[in-house]
A and B are shown apart, each in its own frame.
Chain A
C-alpha cells in the first residue's frame, strides 16, 4: 500500500495527512503509531527505531507516547465516560502503581473531561452520548497519558459539520495552547487547512504542500 513513503513529524507540529480513498493514509497513521509494522523501512521515534524495540517497549510506547483518536470514536460500550478515559492509564500502570495513583489519575481525567465540557457526563455510557460528546471523550482518553503525539484518523468524518467544527476547535486549541503534536488524517480540505503542514499521499508516496 505504501511505497517508499517518508514522513517526518516534529514536536509541536500539526500535520494533516490527505489523500484519496485507499491511498494508505490510515495505514501510514497506524505504522507511525506502532499499531502496524512496515514490511520494509524504519519508523523512528525520537531517534529510536521502533523495529529495534521489544514487543513490550512498543506496547509501552503506544500507551504512553501516542494517543489514538478514531473516526468512529471506538469507546468501550461497557465502560462509562470516566472509565473509558482512565483506561489507558490503567493499562500503562502496574497494579501497585495503579492503586497508589488512582486518585490523582481520576482527578486528571475529570479535569480533562471538564475542559471538554463533559463534567456532567462522567457516569454515562457511550450509547447515551451524542457523536460530538463521544469524540471528545475519545480525545480525552487519548490525552490522559500526556502523549507526545496525537494520532487522529478522520476524527470529524462521522460528525455533522457543526459538531465536526467543534471537535476541530478542540484539536486546534490543544495544538496552539498546549503545543500538542498532532498527526491528523482527513479527506476534508477545510479541516486540513488548519494544520501547519499538509501532506498528501498519492500512489503510496508522500507529497508535501
Chain B
C-alpha cells in the first residue's frame, strides 16, 4: 500500500518525470502512426491487387504462350464444378502511339465481359463505370421524374456553373491573367522556393527565441525582461511566418480551387455526353431506372457508331491504363480523362514465336480508338497496360491462325487462363480447388500434350505473394528500426531513474529506518517505472490513434492549405488518401511494450535502491 502511495506521490510531485513520459509517449505515438500507415498500405495494395485477377490463374512461364487452352477450359468446366468461369488472356509487349505521344506498353488481350466477372475490371473503367456513377449522383440531385432533356439541362448547367466560377477566379487573381499552364507552373515553383525560404526563416527565428528563453531561465537579473523579449519574438515570428505563407499560398490555393472546379466542369460535360446517348423522349421515374440506362452492365470495346463509321472496319476499341503517361493530372490528383478519349491510336506488338523466339522483324501494328481508361490503383498496371480485344491480341501476337511447315494449322495459344471459383472467399476451399486443378492437369492434360510447357496454377494470394511480401517486409523493416530506436526509451528511463534514485537516497534510508524492506523500496521505483510506461503508453496510444484517424485532414487542411507542404503527392502515389485505419491489437501491443519498457528501464536502479545501506543512505548529502 505504501509503495503505491509513495509511487503516486513521486509521479505527481516530481517534475523530472515529464521527460520519460514524453519520450515513451512520442515513441508509442510514432510506432502507431508508422504501423498503421504502413499496414494500411499493405492492406490497400492487397485489395487493389485482388481486384486485378481471377481467383485462380493458370499460366506457363514462357512468353510464347501455350496451346490447347480451349481444351483445358472444357475439361475444367466438365470436371471441376467449382469453376464458375474460365477466360483466356494474352500478354504481349509493344508500343502505344497516339498523336503527340507514345509509350511502351503491356498489351493485354481480354474478353471484357468475362474480365468484368472475374475481377474489378469494370469498376476501374472511367467512361463505363466511374463517370456514369458520378453522373447518376449529380443528376439525381434534381429529383425524379425527369426527362432526358431535363437531365441534359442539369448536366450542362453543372458544367457551365463550374466554368463560370473558374472564370470568376481568374478575374480575382489578377496576377494570373493571361498565364498559361507553363507560366502557372513557374509561379508555383517560385512559391515553393519562397516557402522553403520561409521555413528557413522560421527556423532562424526559433533559434533566437530559444536563446532568449535560455537567458531568461539562466540569468537571475533581468529574467522577466528576457522572458518578455522571448515571448514577443515568438509571437511576432509566428505572425510573420503565417502571414508570409498565407500570401504565398494564396496563388497556390487559387490554382487548386481552379483545378477542382475544372474537374467538376469536366464531370458535367462527361455527364452531358452520357445523357445524350440515352433514348430520346424517355421519362425517368426513379434513380434506379436512370442507373439501368446510364451505367452499362457489361464493359466492352465498342466504338460509338458515329466514330465507327468514320474510323472504318479495321479499327477496334482499346482501353488504356490511366497512368500510361499520356493523361494529364493536376496538383490535386484529378485526371483529365477526356484528354485521350476517342483518340486514334496505333498499337505495335512484338510477337514471340511458338518456339519462343522474338520476331523483331515482324512487328504487328493495329489501329484503335481509345474508348476508355482504367484506374486500378496499382501503378504497375495503370502505367503499362493497354487492353485490346482478345482475338485481336491473339492475331497481333501471332498466337493464332498459324500453320506448321507442312501446312497443318497450329492450335491457337494464350498466355494464361483466369478462373472464377465458387466460395472463393473461403481460403481453404480455394486451396482445395487449386490442388484439384493441379492434379487434373498433371494426370489428364499434361500426358496428352507433352509438348505444352509446364503450368503454374496459383491462387490470387499466391500470385501476388512476392509483391505483398515486399511491402510487408518494408513495414516490418521500418517497425524493426523504430523498435531499435525505442531502445533509447529504455535507456532514457534508466538514466532518469538512476538520477531519481540517487536524488532519493536519503528518502530510501528513511523508509528503511521506518521499517521498509529492500523489496518494498525496490517495488516503489519499479511501480514508478511501470506508471511512467503506462501513462506515456496510454498518451501515445490515444494521440497516435487520433493522429492516424485525422491524417488526411492534417495533411490537406493544415500542412497543405496553410504551409503548402505536400508529403502525399496524389499525382505520384498509388492511393488518393493516406491510410487512416488503426489496428486496436497493434495499439495494445505497443502500449504493453511501453509499460514493459518502463519496468525494464527502472529495474536496475530499483534493485540498487533496495540494496542501499540504510545508515549510509540516511547520512547521504
Contacts and interface: CB of A to CB of B under 8 A. Distances in A.
Interface of A: 27, 30, 33, 35-36, 55-56, 59-64, 68, 70, 74-76, 78-79, 83, 87-88, 90-95, 98-99, 141
A87 B511 CA distance: 8
A60 B615 CA distance: 17
Contact of A88 (B6, B9, B514): B514
9 contacts: A62-B512, A62-B513, A68-B513, A68-B514, A74-B510, A76-B6, A76-B507, A78-B10, A87-B514
Contacts of A61: 515
A88 B515 contact: yes
A56 B517 contact: yes
Interface string B603-621: 0000000000011001000
B517 A55 contact: yes
Contact of B515 (A36, A64, A74, A76): A64
Interface string B561-577: 00000000000000000
A99 B1 CA distance: 9
A36 B518 CA distance: 14
A78 B515 contact: no
Contacts of A75: 510
A177 to B, nearest CB: 24
B514 A62 contact: yes
B1 A90 contact: yes
B355 interface: no
B615 A35 contact: yes
A21 to B, nearest CB: 14
B2 interface: yes
Given A74-B510, A78-B10, A83-B9, 16 more contacts: A27-B615, A35-B512, A35-B614, A36-B614, A55-B518, A61-B515, A68-B513, A70-B618, A74-B513, A76-B6, A83-B5, A91-B511, A91-B514, A91-B515, A93-B1, A98-B2
Contacts of B513: 33, 35, 62, 68, 70, 74
B13 interface: yes
A78 B520 contact: no
B517 A76 contact: no
B2 A90 contact: yes
Contacts of B518: 55
A91 B618 contact: no
B514 A63 contact: yes
Contacts of B515: 59-64, 88, 91-92
B506 interface: yes
B408 interface: no
A35 B507 CA distance: 14
A74 B506 CA distance: 8
A91 B510 contact: no
Nearest 8 A-B pairs (CB), nearest first? A63-B515, A90-B2, A98-B1, A78-B13, A62-B515, A95-B1, A88-B514, A78-B9
Contacts of B516: 59, 63, 91
Interface of B: 1-2, 5-6, 9-10, 13-14, 506-507, 509-518, 520, 614-615, 618
Contact of B1 (A62, A88, A94, A141): A94
B615 A36 contact: yes
B277 to A, nearest CB: 80
Contacts of A90: 1-2, 5
Residue among B1, B512, B517, B618 with the highest chain A CB neighbour number at 10 A:
B1
Contacts of B507: 76
Nearest to B515: A63
Contacts of A95: 1
A36 B613 CA distance: 9
Contacts of A74: 506, 509-510, 513, 618
A39 to B, nearest CB: 14
Contacts of A79: 9
A60 B513 CA distance: 11
A91 B507 CA distance: 14
Nearest to B2: A90
Given A78-B9, A94-B1, A30 B514 contact: no
A64 B1 CA distance: 17
A7 to B, nearest CB: 18
Contacts of A55: 517-518
A68 B513 CA distance: 7
A55 B518 CA distance: 10
Contacts of B10: 78
Nearest to B506: A74
A94 to B, nearest CB: 7
Contacts of B2: 87, 90-91, 98
Contacts of A99: 1
B520 A91 contact: yes
Nearest to A87: B514
A35 B510 CA distance: 10
A201 B119 CA distance: 98
A101 to B, nearest CB: 11
B512 to A, nearest CB: 7
A61 B512 CA distance: 12
Contacts of B614: 35-36
A75 B507 CA distance: 8
A184 B248 CA distance: 79
Residue among A55, A56, A78, A141 with the highest chain B CB neighbour number at 10 A:
A78
A59 B10 CA distance: 23
A191 B452 CA distance: 112
A55 B520 CA distance: 13
Contacts of B511: 87, 91
